[in-house]
Copies of this chain bind each other. A is one copy, B any other.
């Protein structure tokens, strides 16, 4: 899994039948030191994440191991909203204290 920030959404009406009803988020990758990277993924939301949320996401077959995405053509999922993370004992991110995004 990687850390990312939800930065937008994608809308599509003409899509594979078993993609219906899934919300598609644009997630920009973050370093573990809370810096934005150029990489992004389009990921299905299963935790009601919104723009500006720092999240945990993954790509690959693990994306289909949640109830809403089971057996669907999903190759990106946001599976958690992050509260805090620390590196070397130092808090890098805290959802309740952070007012501004790094992006």
Could you tell me which residues of chain A, from 49 to 103, have a CB within 8 Å of some CB in chain B? 51, 56, 58-67, 71-77, 79-89, 92, 103
- The answer on a CB contact under 8 Å between B79 and A73 is yes
Within 8 A of B (CB), among A35-50: 38, 40-43, 46-48
Identify which of B7, B32, B63, B81 contacts A14 (C-beta below 8 A): B81
Q: Which residues of B contact A77 (CB under 8 A)?
A: 16, 73
Contact indicator B7/A42 (Cβ below 8 Å): no
**Copies assembled:** 5
Report the interface size for chain A: residues with CB under 8 A from the other chain: 61
| 8 Å CB interface, A1-21 against B | 1-3, 7-19
- Determine whether the beta carbon of B41 is less than 8 Å from that of A2: yes
A87–B101 alpha-carbon span in the complex (Å):
14
Closest 7 CB pairs of A and B: A15-B80, A58-B75, A8-B87, A62-B75, A65-B73, A12-B80, A1-B42
Q: Is the Cβ of B65 less than 8 Å from the Cβ of A15?
A: no
Tell me whether B7 and A47 are in contact (CB under 8 A).
no
